[in-house]
Structure 1
Amino acid sequence: MDLLTDESLINKVQNGQLDACGLLYMRYKKPLFNYFYNNIYDVTKSEDMVQTVFEKVIKYKKNFKGTGSFRSWLFTIARNTYIDDFNARKKNRSVDIMDHDFAHEEHGENQMLDQEESNLLQKALRMLDDEKRELISMIKLNEMKYQQVADLYGLSLSNVKTKVFRIMQELKENAHKLQANG
């Protein structure tokens, strides 16, 4: 029986069995959406970018050589998609993204306090620069392994851990500032 690992599924896609891409999509649509949403705070745009990533997976399926993990390759595509979108928005930007009041979906099961904490976290995240917000969302929100992120950025493992530690400290400081002012 063929195991349904990410690598075996992408091999099927490479061999023309495009339905296997549907299984990969089901596995990664939420982590990819979270990655995009935590960087751009736009539900529709995040959903579109997830679709764009999988269009690129199909288009560039032969580029996956199996030397690294599929997840790392996929998030490299996602990161490049985000960078392309960011650069396009930067050229056409009429409103500063950090000053925009973003609407967040509310879930009925959330308590009022949980919503306030979530809002505080989102505001504190928006205070980070794009690179820091992207790095922290990969590690803490999408639960990528430090080594995967190190490989993606071309950094050492210790460098990534140090950066994440410092970003977490800055995030905490941002949250404290917001609480003091709120």
Structure 2
Amino acid sequence: MRNLIYGINLTADGCCEHTKGKANEEVHEYFTDLMHDVDLLVYGRKTYELMVPYWPDVAKSHSGTKDENEFARKFTAIDKLVFSKTLKSVDGNARLVRDGLKKEILRLKQEPGKKISTGGVDLPSQLIALNLVDEFYFVIHPILAGKGRRLLDTTLIKGNTDLELVSSKVFKSGFVALHYIKADSEF
């Protein structure tokens, strides 16, 4: 069975708005390394539109730093599944799905392949509430945002989800990466 993993950048006070953090070379390399074990990216509309066409454009033009270009190359090569009721179409190696989130993810987890990765806030929050996320990768930025959106702000989950720490990494720049699995998951 394939694992569904969730990776997100958070400020030290828990803000997950992409404009509040400050990704650097180490963070790009960390998320690029994560994608070596992934063959499908699952996004909602907002995250898809944030990532595409930005990263595919960087991959084509090589306009980023070395670590950004490598992330862009890896990101662009991986198939994508986008859940949206409002998008008319998606580009390249992406497929659009209108509904049936739980059913589709359960089906994909049964297929052979590498891990499935999700990012953003709204869709992953739904997946967490459905108890479908197996692994969590939190990268904590050494910033206090003071305000902004928090993970699971608008999503109710039933009871606690116990997590087990698998690994942690402190970057030279002060960022901290934490890898957790659900207590009942196999790693």
TM-score, reference length from structure 1: 0.30
Q: Which has the higher helix share?
A: 1
Q: Which has the higher strand share?
A: 2
